[in-house]
Amino acid sequence: MIPARCVSSVHAISVITASLLLAACVTGSTGPSARAELRPTANHTAQGWVQFAQQGSTVRVTAEVRGLTPNAEHGFHVHEKGDCSAPDATSAAGHFNPTGQPHGHHGQPERHAGDMPSLKADAAGVARLNWQTDLLAVGSGPANVLGRGVIVHRDPDDYATQPTGNSGARVACGVVQAR
């Protein structure tokens, strides 16, 4: 259903502008967005994308990754550097942690800003994520994800081992860029 405030605005503007206005009203688009194209690291097949969309004081994170171990969990983190040049993606450095917190579960108040939920692959090795966080930002401030790396790991995050979560090898890497 299209909100009444949007419909009344449509009558006074062109068809193209009306389409854009309606799309923004219906989808709730609010702020800047960014995306990372995930590419496999050496000897791995995982690839996909992750999208970051600023929505007020929170960021909506959506992702799709293919080529994962079927029916398994895979650690998933924003990393400090947007550098995927090393064959094993160690060039992306450690987890993004602008506030100096310990590594932790994505639902706990004390954690790295880059600590996200593990990806859960289905029987075909495809994982999808739709999650919201208040520890990241798109475009400004110390929690800005632009230019950071996103890593998919081989193993699940144990949310306890410091500072990495014991997630194993890095199977995919991408650099977050403005859209």
Do both 10 and 47 map to the same domain?
no
Query: What is the pLDDT of the chain when averaged over all its residues?
Result: 87
Do both 72 and 128 map to the same domain?
yes
Do both 50 and 23 map to the same domain?
no
Do both 22 and 53 map to the same domain?
no
* Percentage above 70 pLDDT, the chain: 84
Instruction: Specify whether 95 is catalytic.
Output: yes
Whether residue 126 contacts residue 114, with contact meaning beta carbons closer than 8 Å, is answered with no
Of 44, 95, 106, 148, catalytic: 95
Residue 1 reports pLDDT greater than 70: no
Do both 18 and 55 map to the same domain?
no
Of 44, 106, 111, 115, catalytic: 115
Do both 143 and 70 map to the same domain?
yes
**E strand or H helix at 58:** strand 58-66
Of 60, 74, 79, 148, catalytic: 79
Of 74, 112, 148, 154, catalytic: 112
Instruction: Specify whether 153 is catalytic.
Output: yes
Do both 13 and 58 map to the same domain?
no
Do both 80 and 96 map to the same domain?
yes
Which residues, at least 6 apart from 36, have a Cβ–Cβ distance to it below 8 Å? 49, 50, 149, 150, 174, 175, 176, 177
Looking at residue 10, what is its pLDDT?
37
Q: Which of 41, 155, 39 is nearest to 90 (CA)?
A: 41
Residue 23 binned pLDDT confidence (cut-offs 50, 70, 90): very low
pTM flag (> 0.75) = yes
Do both 122 and 46 map to the same domain?
yes
Of 106, 148, 154, 170, catalytic: 170
Instruction: Specify whether 105 is catalytic.
Output: no
Of 103, 106, 111, 148, catalytic: 103
Looking at residue 15, what is its pLDDT?
36
Q: How many domains does the chain have?
A: 2
* Percentage above 90 pLDDT, the chain: 78
Do both 5 and 83 map to the same domain?
no
Instruction: Specify whether 11 is catalytic.
Output: no
Residue 9 reports pLDDT greater than 80: no
Do both 7 and 70 map to the same domain?
no
Do both 56 and 22 map to the same domain?
no
Residue 21 binned pLDDT confidence (cut-offs 50, 70, 90): very low
- Number of alpha carbons in the 13 Å side-chain half-sphere of residue 120: 4
Instruction: Specify whether 74 is catalytic.
Output: no
Instruction: Print the domain residue range for 51.
Output: 33-178
Looking at residue 24, what is its pLDDT?
41
CATH number, domain with residue 164:
2.60.40.200
Instruction: Specify whether 103 is catalytic.
Output: yes
Number of helical H runs and strand E runs in the chain: 2, 10
